Amino acid sequence: MDGFIGEFFGTAILILLGAGTGAGINLNKTYAKGSGWLFVCLSWGMAVTMGVYVAGLLGSDGHLNPAVTIPFAIFGLFPWNEVLPYLAGQFLGAFCGAAIVMVALGHTLKKPKGKRMGTLLGYLLRCQQLSHHFSTSSQKLSQHLRLSLFFLT
Q: Are 116 and 33 in contact (CB under 8 A)?
A: no
Q: Are 47 and 13 in contact (CB under 8 A)?
A: yes
pLDDT at position 82 is: 93
pLDDT at position 120 is: 47
pLDDT at position 66 is: 93
Widest Cα–Cα separation across the chain: 54
pLDDT at position 52 is: 94
Which domains does the chain carry?
A: 2-152 (1.20.1080.10)
Query: What average pLDDT values come out for the chain (153 residues) when binned by 10 residues?
Result: 90 91 79 81 92 92 92 94 94 92 74 54 48 54 58 54
pLDDT at position 128 is: 46
Residue 36: strand, helix, or coil? coil
